[in-house]
Amino acid sequence: MKKNFLVAGLGTFGRETALALADGGGDVLALDMDDKAVDRVKDRVSKVFVGDVTDDHTMEAIGAFDVDVAVVAIRRHFDVAILVTHSLKTHGVKKIIAQVDSERQGDAILTVGATDVVFPHRVCRRNDPHRGE
């Protein structure tokens, strides 16, 4: 069964995630406030919109609450990421993956509803305790 994805935020991580999901056969709905970011993915994802991810009316109108998995890729505006994650959870999205910068942010966003967190900017070094060796 084909999965439906929301990618909220189209910076580097969000863009690459949206494109990878689309290339893998997913039905991808992408959203960002920046029209240039939207233009970079518009020909490769199912649907893309310029809009405010904190506006529940907009999110509902575009079908953002009707996805199987949501990716919140709004790293530079953690307050917005928290609001979006909470809204997605409140509206019944079961799997919410959030991009964060720190363990503390990860704990906070998990508390408001994220099911998973990712640290895509983290550089693995030989002695990095998070590397998993």
Dump pLDDT digits (tens) for 64-112.
999 999 999 998 899 999 999 999 999 999 999 999 999 999 999 999 9
pTM over 0.85: yes
Q: Is the pLDDT of residue 126 over 70?
A: no
**CA-CA distance, 27 to 53, in Å (whole number)?**
19
Alpha helix (H) residue ranges in 27-120: 35-41, 56-62, 78-90, 103-111
